A and B are shown apart, each in its own frame.
Chain A
Amino acid sequence: MNEQSQSSHWTEVVGQLMEKLTGKNMSMTYEFDDLTIDVPSARGPGGRDLGGVQWKINGKVTITTETYQKGSNSKT
């Protein structure tokens, strides 16, 4: 297995997983409950310290997808 075929195998696996996570003809709801993320400090222009920040995420995001046949108005 060379580097390219190994890479394409993983790409295929990740692609299939992403397809599951984004959904096809279904609704996906991501529910965030007090998700806290510490964003580390960063350097701005001139090496200025921009400091760190803490994000708190609450709420729901629903993604609903439908697939259509290309060049046709009818749904698959």
Chain B
Amino acid sequence: MSSAPHNTVEKEDMLSYWLAKSLRSITSGSIKLHVSDKPALKIEAIDNKDKNKKINIDFLEPELFSFDIKPEDSVEENPSFFHKLKNAFDDNLKNAFDLTKMITDKDEMMLSFSKKFAHYLTINGVTLSISRKGKEAITIGEEAKPTLSRLLTRSDDVQIKSTMEAAKLTDDVLTDE
């Protein structure tokens, strides 16, 4: 990790490594984000002394963090990775096994950053918990124990705790143009 990264894969690896390492250095406390005086996001670090670290990120107003997803070609014929993710959650992961057949090499590339980041969190003993309006949706890192969600994320370090909350969160955050 000492020499400068040369290509996208190395840069992605470096970024995910330092991001996980930076989160490791947060010991305790919280950051609250208010948008126009309205609570929008809360980040809280749980001090477990010598145990693993847990950082909770709660999207109190998830709609404020929405971004557009662009279909690459036709949504019906060739849905983008974000569309597949959204559909899988909307479907409550009932067809998760069928979904694995739809994961393409392109999707794998899209997933690679989050997989690396989640892996580095585990190595650093950090758990990241993502919630929507106080309800836990996704756990990433050390304490993640994926079952069905492994089919979707192809990672042992990402667990979808609640498909309903994850579906709501993706609906709030990912919007069609």
Q: Which of A23-76 contact B (CB under 8 A)?
A: 23, 26-40, 54, 56-57
Across the interface, name the chain A residue whose C-beta is closest to B80: A9
Q: Which residues of B contact A16 (CB under 8 A)?
A: 67-68
Q: Which residues of B contact A36 (CB under 8 A)?
A: 26-29, 45, 47
Q: A23–B40 Cα gap in the complex (Å)?
A: 12
Task: Tell me the dominant secondary structure on chain A's binding face.
Answer: strand
B25:A38 contact, CB within 8 angstroms: yes
Q: Which residues of B contact A33 (CB under 8 A)?
A: 29-32
Counting chain B residues whose Cβ lies within 8 A of the other chain, the interface size class is 20 to 34
Q: Bits for B25-43, please: 1 = Cβ < 8 Å to A, else 0.
A: 1111111111111000000
A6:B26 contact, CB within 8 angstroms: no
Q: Which residues of A contact B64 (CB under 8 A)?
A: 20
A23:B35 contact, CB within 8 angstroms: yes
* Contacts A20-B64, A36-B26, A37-B26 given; does A30 touch B8 at CB 8 Å: no
B32:A31 contact, CB within 8 angstroms: yes
Q: Is B74 an interface residue, CB under 8 A from the partner? A: no
Q: A22–B28 Cα gap in the complex (Å)?
A: 24
Name 24 A/B residue pairs within 8 A (Cβ), A-sorted.
A1-B110, A3-B9, A6-B110, A16-B67, A16-B68, A17-B67, A20-B67, A23-B35, A27-B35, A27-B36, A28-B34, A29-B37, A30-B32, A33-B30, A34-B30, A35-B29, A35-B30, A36-B28, A36-B45, A37-B26, A37-B27, A38-B27, A40-B25, A57-B29
Identify the B interface with A (CB < 8 A): 7-9, 25-37, 45, 47, 64-68, 106, 109-110, 113
Identify the A interface with B (CB < 8 A): 1, 3-4, 6-7, 9-10, 13, 16-17, 20-21, 23, 26-40, 54, 56-57
